């Protein structure tokens, strides 16, 4: 007698959640690796992570799961939610099955080794320490693209891990827009009188910075009973479930912008994770739509809200109470202009909203070149520096401020960087729609009322998990697919106010 649909779906959920348990146990170890793990734990940590990755992969590519998914996909008595989970899981299964367990284990082990080499290279300011490990990682990613299969470009196969459906053909017009429309904006800004950001470069004690950042997170709606903030070399957000979402940040006591924007950015990511349906734990509808949508949430909070004058009409008096001497003679208008200063810089995570996308484009072009074997890993510092000179007119003084600044390649995250620009463009479009649907949104921000925006995001985006692709979700929320004109309007309006 065939299994009932209910029993099959229950078994499917059990298998998926078991794999999620293993993956999230590995995620705890990865979080520990980047925050508190002692240096001598690195070698065995790589082995532990590789073992767990292989175990989760075995479940997600098991013959039993395949049988269940194929059978459920033909059943007519599933709910819409159940059908969506099965459809997406079957897609994931067919993709995961293309990667042998031995390959997944090798990739996980190389990721840990590569990360530790990256840390050592940063400490010694010497890319050559990282280069051999990175070359091995690139070879593995090329193999992964081959195993997945692709039609036009190996990069397409890897992009799909982060932005389902994205291709080089789709991205080229987006980056063409960056090359064509942002330089004229930058030229206008350069022709105007530069605003000062001296107010950010004073002595800001670490503890006061930390305390204020947690105050901001609480006002944004971040639930500290379902998360925490810690320090890390490279700020990141990790989620073990919607009830345990952790963020990290970094502190520079002589540059207040470093912690402030990292915290708000990661807080935006965390709010998305905390808003995903808890009852869908381990299932596709309990996961984010894509990294582009994920980035839209962090960019919306960091830039549209966090760098907006309305929010600081509320936050600035509070900030002055934390730093009365440093900000005694600084007006909120001066502070607002300082936080939005545009100037070509070396560090992507600290870049302004205009030049940021040149940073992303450089990484996108390099990743394509590496996968095509048009760029060799050993030559990356020279390639990187020449592209920074070409697009931003600046050259890194050392590897830490150049090729070693991002953690992504050490984790094998090739195809991730384009989602940062896509996220900014989605954020501008979503924010414009929120203004249409929430009455007096700026006035609410000025009063410290951020919950209406969070509830709007929960309703329009967070609750759906992976039910829709990025383009489908964008159209559902705004009535149209991604339209970069919203970003250009947002940029022009903001910087007309900043630079008069």
Determine which one of 30, 266, 295, 367 is catalytic.
266
- Burial string for 341-379 (b: 16+ CB within 10 Å, else e) reads bbbbbbebbbbbbbbbbbbbbbbbbbbbbbbeeebebee
- Give the helix/strand (H/E) hosting 247: strand 244-249
Handedness of CA 226, 232, 237, 238 (dihedral sign): negative
Catalytic, 266? Answer yes
Give the chain's end-to-end CA distance (angstroms, integer).
Answer: 75
Separation CA 8–CA 11 (nearest Å): 5
Note every long-range contact of 85-92, with CB atoms under 8 Å and residues 24 or more positions apart, other chains counting. Answer: 85/12, 85/280, 85/283, 85/284, 85/285, 86/9, 86/12, 88/284, 88/285, 88/466, 89/12, 89/16, 89/283, 89/284, 92/60, 92/284
3 state SS of 238: strand
HSE, CB side, 13 Å, CA atoms: give it for residue 341. 17
Separation CA 432–CA 482 (nearest Å): 12
| Residue 227 bridge partners (DSSP) | 245
Residues with a catalytic annotation lie at 266
């Amino acid at each position: 007698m065939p299994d009932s649909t209910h029993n099959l779906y229950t078994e499917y959920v059990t298998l998926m959640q078991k794999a999620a348990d293993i993956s999230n146990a590995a995620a705890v170890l990865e979080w520990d690796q980047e925050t508190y793990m002692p240096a001598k734990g690195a070698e065995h940590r790589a082995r532990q992570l590789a073992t767990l990755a292989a175990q989760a992969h075995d479940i997600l590519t098991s013959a039993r799961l395949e049988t269940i998914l194929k059978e459920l996909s033909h059943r007519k008595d599933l709910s819409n939610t159940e059908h969506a989970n099965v459809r997406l899981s079957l897609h994931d299964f067919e993709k995961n099955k293309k990667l042998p367990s031995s390959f997944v284990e090798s990739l996980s082990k190389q990721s840990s080794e590569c990360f530790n080499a990256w840390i050592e290279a940063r400490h010694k300011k010497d890319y050559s320490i990282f280069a051999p490990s990175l070359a091995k990682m690139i070879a593995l990613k090329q193999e992964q693209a081959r195993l997945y299969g692709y039609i036009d470009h190996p990069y397409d196969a890897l992009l799909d891990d982060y932005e389902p459906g994205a291709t080089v053909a789709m991205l080229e017009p987006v980056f063409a827009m960056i090359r064509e429309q942002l330089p004229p904006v930058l030229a206008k800004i350069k022709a105007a009188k530069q605003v000062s950001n001296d107010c950010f470069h004073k002595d800001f004690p670490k503890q006061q910075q930390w305390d204020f950042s947690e105050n901001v997170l609480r006002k944004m709606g971040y639930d500290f009973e379902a998360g925490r903030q810690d320090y890390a070399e490279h700020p990141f957000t990790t989620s073990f479930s919607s009830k345990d979402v952790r963020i990290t940040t970094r502190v520079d006591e002589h540059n207040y912008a470093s912690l402030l924007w990292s915290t708000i950015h990661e807080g935006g990511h965390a709010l998305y994770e905390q808003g995903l349906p808890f009852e869908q734990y381990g299932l596709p509808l309990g996961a984010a739509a894509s990294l582009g949508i994920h980035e839209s949430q962090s960019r919306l909070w960091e830039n549209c809200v966090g760098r907006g004058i309305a929010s600081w009409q509320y936050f600035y008096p509070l900030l002055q109470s934390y730093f009365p001497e440093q900000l005694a003679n600084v007006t909120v208008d001066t502070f607002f202009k300082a936080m939005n200063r545009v100037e070509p810089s070396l560090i992507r995570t600290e870049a302004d909203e205009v030049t940021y996308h040149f940073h992303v484009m450089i990484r996108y072009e390099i990743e394509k070149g590496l996968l095509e074997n048009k760029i060799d890993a050993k030559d990356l510092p020279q390639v990187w520096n020449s592209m920074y000179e070409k697009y931003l007119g600046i050259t890194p003084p050392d590897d830490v401020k150049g090729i070693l600044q991002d953690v992504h390649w050490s984790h094998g995250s090739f195809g991730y960087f384009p989602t940062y620009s896509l996220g900014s463009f989605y954020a501008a479009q979503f924010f414009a729609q929120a203004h249409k649907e929430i009455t007096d949104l700026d006035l609410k921000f000025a009063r410290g009322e951020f919950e209406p925006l969070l509830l709007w995001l929960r309703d329009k985006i967070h609750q759906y998990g992976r039910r829709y692709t990025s383009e489908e979700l964008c159209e559902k929320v705004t009535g149209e697919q991604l339209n970069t004109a919203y970003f250009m309007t947002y940029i022009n309006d903001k910087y007309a106010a900043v630079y008069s």
